[in-house]
A = this chain, B = another copy of it.
């Protein structure tokens, strides 16, 4: 399942002897809700929990039983969607890895349904603490993959000790989110490649 999912409602009082009684959670409903969420986020109409419930053929309470707020639902849909995403390959060189990761990430984020979810996610996170925490975990996960890639390159001697890895990561994802939110320029493949090239130059320039 999805380990990031919020599951705070049940388990209020810890009772040993009876771990669970009653009807089991309906997995069909769960995935219908998440799928509908992504779908409604894509159509640029106003997104509402009410609409998700109606469209997914589900009671509103079934949503609020498992997600504490609208923002949490949006973030969970986003996380759920990105779980299917496969990791970038290990090409053996910093330039190759960086290029592969950025191209993959830009391609993924520029898918209309994903980009709408990303936009909605960051929007909700500005208003909803739970969503903010979930977004933070999501972002940290993505940063982690990036960091592992750079650490691999460093162990191969391709990254000098003086290089500020976190700032490199900030620049990579910064461009992604900035273009996503402002829309002044697309998340194209060529942009990903140019960015990779620039960051390689920046990293190697640190050698001096």
Interface residues of A (CB under 8 A from B): 46, 119-120, 122-123, 125-127, 132, 135-136, 139-140, 143, 164, 166-168, 170-171, 173-179, 181-185, 191, 194-195, 198-199, 201-202, 204-206
Contact = CB atoms under 8 A, between A and B. Distances in A.
Contact of A178 (B178, B199, B201, B206): B178
Q: Which of A135, A173, A176, A201 has the most CB of B within 10 A?
A: A201
A174 B199 CA distance: 14
A128 to B, nearest CB: 11
Closest 6 CB pairs of A and B: A174-B174, A201-B205, A174-B178, A202-B202, A174-B175, A205-B205
A171 B175 contact: yes
Contacts of A198: 164, 167-168, 171, 202, 206
